[in-house]
Structure 1
Amino acid sequence: MAIGQAGKNTNILSSILLQILLYLSGAYSVFYFLSTLSMIIYKSHVLSYPDGQLTLDVCLLFLMAGFEVMRVYWGVRGNLQESEIYTGSNLIAMVATVLLALYFVIWQSYVLRADVIIGAILLCLYGLTGIMGLGAFARFTS
């Protein structure tokens, strides 16, 4: 418990571990996006993509990048401001990014071993961040 300016007791509810995980997952997401885009380009040149699947994979990757930017922003802002709305929005955006990450690990047209490895690391980061986010959300709402 910390003592505020006027001698009032103020509780700090934000989580340093959640903040670290958000920054780490944000940085890893940049690596994930660039490497997945590179692998899609590689697969499009080496393998014959079914009609429309290349466009779908690229569009879903950019959609995932958009959700990821919102997820990290809302998570950082929600944790620092101890906001239930932003933290809850972070968790909802995480569901979308997890589903898209699962698409790239399981359901995309061609899945390389590298896709599975970098996707598994991303999903582990999402899992840790989700657990810490749920804990922070529970503290903020109580």
Structure 2
Amino acid sequence: RKLSSVTLQLLLHVTAAYFVFYFLFTLGLIIKKSLVLSYPSDALVCDIFLLFLLAALEFLHFYSGVKGNLTESETYVFGNLLLTGATILLTVYFLVWQSYVMRADVIISSVSLGLYGLDGVLAFSTLTRFARFVSLS
């Protein structure tokens, strides 16, 4: 019996595709802000570092979600849930706490948070389905 979620799989791919846009757009905004505004150099380094950290976490988020869903592995799906939490925290940083927050930052980060929220809900429901099936077997 197949327990993997087609909806989760599609959403993971949509989230990954959107993240490519998010990453490039946010990097472009950081560069623009550093050229136009008086951007403290330590804050610039921090923002760029956190953006690349977010990219690494997004890669792991996508990998663990897809692998966990396709192999019906509770461990990978649980890891995906943990990574979803970490990516949400970093996205909130870019939404609220970075040095300069522009309207474009608010819009793209809000969309990203919505996608991560849906990812989390679907990953959690998939994880419970896997766990329920294992406990019934």
TM-score (ref. length: structure 2): 0.95
5+ residue gaps, structure 2, are: 133-137
Out of 59, 64, 77, the position equivalent to 2:54 is: 64
Q: Note the alpha carbon deviations across 1:3-51, whole angstroms, 9 max, x for none.
A: xxxxxxxx21100000000000000001100000000000000000124
5+ residue gaps, structure 1, are: 1-10
Q: How does 1:61-100 map to 2 (within 5 A)?
A: 61-100=51-90
Query: Could you tell me the percent identity over the aligned residues?
Result: 53
In the alignment, does 2:14 pair up with 1:38? Answer: no
Out of 14, 17, 21, the position equivalent to 2:11 is: 21
Out of 126, 132, 135, the position equivalent to 2:116 is: 126
Take 2:48 and 2:41, find their aligned partners in 1: how far apart are those partners?
A: 13
Tell me, what secondary structure is at the counterpart of 2:4?
Answer: coil
Give the deviation of 1:141 after TM superposition: 1.1
The amino acid that maps onto 1:43 is: K
Larger Rg: 1 or 2? 1
Q: Note the alpha carbon deviations across 1:75-119, whole angstroms, 9 max, x for none.
A: 000000000000000010111100000000000000000000000
The amino acid that maps onto 1:92 is: L
Take 2:116 and 2:127, find their aligned partners in 1: how far apart are those partners?
A: 16
The amino acid that maps onto 2:9 is: Q
Take 2:41 and 2:28, find their aligned partners in 1: how far apart are those partners?
A: 19
CA RMSD of aligned residues (A): 0.6
Take 2:36 and 2:78, find their aligned partners in 1: how far apart are those partners?
A: 42
The amino acid that maps onto 2:37 is: L
Take 1:13 and 1:73, find their aligned partners in 2: how far apart are those partners?
A: 18
Out of 112, 124, 137, the position equivalent to 2:127 is: 137
Runs of 4+ that moved beyond 3 A? none
Count matched residues.
132
| Aligned residue in 1 for 2:91 | 101
Structure (1 or 2) with the greater helix fraction: 2
